[in-house]
A and B are shown apart, each in its own frame.
Chain A
Amino acid sequence: MKINFDSLKPVYIQIAEAIEDDIISGILTEGDAAYSQLIIARGLNVNPATAAKGINVLVSKGILEKQRGSSMVVACGALERLLSERKEIGVNGLISSLVSEAVKIGVSESELIGKIKNHYKGLEGKQNE
């Protein structure tokens, strides 16, 4: 995890997204204990209040759950929900900026689609190696 203090994204949102990334990449799996407020504060050198705010974003989204006692665990179905959310919001957002950049510099629709296909081929090639 790395926090960028020069980003438009609030620090607590960056913390929430970093935890989401760890769930998506499988470092944290469902039912695992998530990072505590203090672990995040010490690890990233941020105030515990900011860390708690990041965790609360995920609790209100249902990605993390408070278990008996005070420990926080990755909720059941968290991974699936995150993936569909990223497909919906994340990929759409990227495509929208990609398309507007393409329009600005005069790349046609078919040209752009061709380039995307090439990238997919490139990735497959790498996986086959």
Chain B
Amino acid sequence: MNKIVKTTNLCKTFGKKHALSDVSVSISENSITGLIGRNGSGKTTLMRILAGKLDKANGEALVFGKEPMDNLAVLNKMVYTYHNVQYDQNLHLKTILFGYEAIFLNFDGTFANKLMRYFDLTGKMKYKSLSQGMASIFNFLCALSCRAPLTMLDEPVLGMDVTVRKSAYEILLRDYTEHPRTIIVSSHLLSELESILSDILLIDNGRVVLNNSVDDIRQSAYRIDGTPSAIGGYAADKKVIMQKKSELSSFAVIYEQCTEAVIESAKKQGLTVSPVRPEELCVFLTQQNKEAELECLW
């Protein structure tokens, strides 16, 4: 498949902090990729480099096969929105939409207006009068209406209530099926987003932890519950990414392809097997061992 984004050993530092270290990822054409990571893990830095808003330190970042920075041919094909877009605070929403229409060739003004009505926004509202959630909705609908071949949404659902978030995911998926394009969306709410994604890119401390299809990730780990000795025996030669022992429940999370054969063999040893959702897996793969610290809080 055609790769829209390809980075090789991409590095970025802010002073002494390594925001991105050796990031080599590729994103296929017409995929919806969830960019996942903890606060400060480098999600926004990566997006800003891809959007040509930030210079890289080392390595290579190609978008549509070219360096994005100061490259109009590339920038014309992408839209990037984030939660605190700096519009002139006194602008009316209608005026901002005109701006988008002037810049983006594929901008669908009719669709944008329909979305405005759907989300109860009017052109006469001022951007500064919008709440955080409403500003997010407005940025989201602008980005979607651009129908840009590469659409990058940085935390698009920030501040949206749960009802609006649900509509937003549904609209995003529906519009993608009508107008297939490459979408990258960063979020902390992977469990809500998971079903509409095709791929997940998990980064932690500026490094890539996972870059795979959601269908593969869903099957890449499983949880076993049982007696500590049964768990110990079963997990001895396996990669355990999380383990908990207590009187009430003991379990381990095994990082291994969850096939039917695996499930059978675990069951035979008296263990209960349950799935590990991608969101949980991301937590297990990125949490530092803070259990002991947590116990010390009280």
Contacts and interface: CB of A to CB of B under 8 A. Distances in A.
Interface residues of A, number: 19
B177 A53 contact: no
B222 interface: yes
B177 A42 contact: yes
B169 A50 contact: no
Given A41-B173, A42-B177, A53-B215, A47 B198 contact: yes
A47 B173 contact: yes
A46 B196 contact: yes
Nearest to B195: A46
Interface in B166-196: 169-170, 173-174, 176-177, 194-196
Interface string B216-235: 00110010000000000000
A33 interface: no
A7 to B, nearest CB: 6
A60 to B, nearest CB: 16
Contact of B196 (A3, A10, A47): A47
A38 interface: yes
B170 to A, nearest CB: 6
Could you say which of A8, A38, A47 has the most chain B C-beta atoms within 10 Å of its C-beta? A47
Contacts of B218: 10-11
Contacts of A12: 215
A48 interface: yes
A47 B277 contact: no
A42 B173 CA distance: 7
Contacts of A7: 275
Contacts of B222: 8
B26 to A, nearest CB: 16
Contacts of A44: 195
Given A49-B198, A50-B214, A8 B169 contact: no
A5 B214 CA distance: 12
B189 to A, nearest CB: 14
Nearest to B170: A45
A19 B53 CA distance: 46
Interface in B222-258: 222, 258
B76 interface: no
Contacts of A6: 275, 277
Interface in A30-69: 38, 41-42, 44-50, 53
Contacts of B277: 5-6
A50 B258 contact: no
B173 A10 contact: no
Contacts of A3: 195
Given A42-B177, A45-B170, A49-B31, A10 B215 contact: yes
A10 B220 CA distance: 11
Most buried by A among B222, B273, B275: B275
Contacts of A8: 222, 258, 263, 273-275
Interface of A: 3, 5-8, 10-12, 38, 41-42, 44-50, 53
Interface of B: 31-32, 169-170, 173-174, 176-177, 194-198, 213-215, 218-219, 222, 258, 263, 273-275, 277
- A-B pairs with the 3 shortest C-beta distances? A49-B198, A47-B198, A8-B275
Given A47-B197, A47-B214, 7 more contacts: A3-B195, A8-B273, A10-B219, A11-B195, A38-B177, A45-B196, A48-B177
